[in-house]
Amino acid sequence: MPQYRRAQGNMFFFTVVLADRSNTLLVDQIDRLRQIYRAVLQRRPFETIAICVLPDHLHAIWALPEDDSDFSSRWSLIKGGFSRGLEAQSRSTSKLKKREKGIWQRRYWEHAIRNDADLERHVNYIHFNPVKHGLVTRVRDWPHSSFHRYVEQGLLPLDWGGDMRDVSGKFGE
């Protein structure tokens, strides 16, 4: 078991999704997303424990400052900042009334990390997600992931997660 950071209060797992699941906007505009993410981090500090950006969604684990559980405003700033300046997508009446561009799903999934085992499961889920979605056959081949930081820090080996080319079609007897 890797020696991950210990789970503490105010640590959350998130899934944030584009409205159009066939869209590749997040990786097409990865530099824009990174710039907005850094700007929000400066204004409203938090620690990114793990993150993976895929074409149509992203997963992240954040540790918020003590006595601060306001992840909602941080995601609002990230989503709004990313959307600002991009061409609006087709929108429902309710999105028009709320002046939403229609790029993001209105809600997102959040989960409070309960303990060290829960943290490890979610970090592993985040890092393996590009393989799960068939974007790469090895975790290390996806560039938009904190997996590379974990390797640099000696928390995970470069070959973590294996190579799915080695197992395709070899299930069962």
Q: What is the pLDDT of residues 97-128, one digit of tens each?
A: 555 558 999 889 999 999 999 999 999 999 99
Collect all residues with Cβ–Cβ distance below 8 Å to 152 and sequence separation of at least 6. none
Superfamily (CATH H level) for 11-166: Transposase IS200-like (3.30.70.1290)
Nearest to 54 by CA among 146, 158, 145, 155: 145
Task: Count other Cβ atoms within 10 Å, centred on residue 15.
Answer: 16
pLDDT, one tens digit per residue, over 133-147 is 999 999 999 999 999
Cα dihedral across residues 71, 72, 76, 79: positive or negative: positive
Q: Is the pLDDT of residue 1 over 80?
A: no
* Cβ-defined contacts of 111-115 (< 8 Å, 24+): 111/12, 111/13, 111/14, 112/11, 112/12, 113/7, 113/11, 113/12, 113/13, 113/61, 114/7, 115/7
The rounded distance, in Å, linking the Cα atoms of 162 and 85 is: 40
Q: What is the pTM of this model?
A: 0.85
Q: Where are the domains of the chain?
A: 11-166
pLDDT of residue 104: 94
Portion of the chain with pLDDT greater than 70, in percent: 82
Please check whether residue 28 is in contact with residue 86, taking contact to mean a CB–CB distance below 8 angstroms.
Answer: no
Collect all residues with Cβ–Cβ distance below 8 Å to 68 and sequence separation of at least 6. 10
Average pLDDT for the chain: 88
pLDDT, one tens digit per residue, over 63-99 is 999 989 999 999 999 999 999 988 765 545 554 455 5
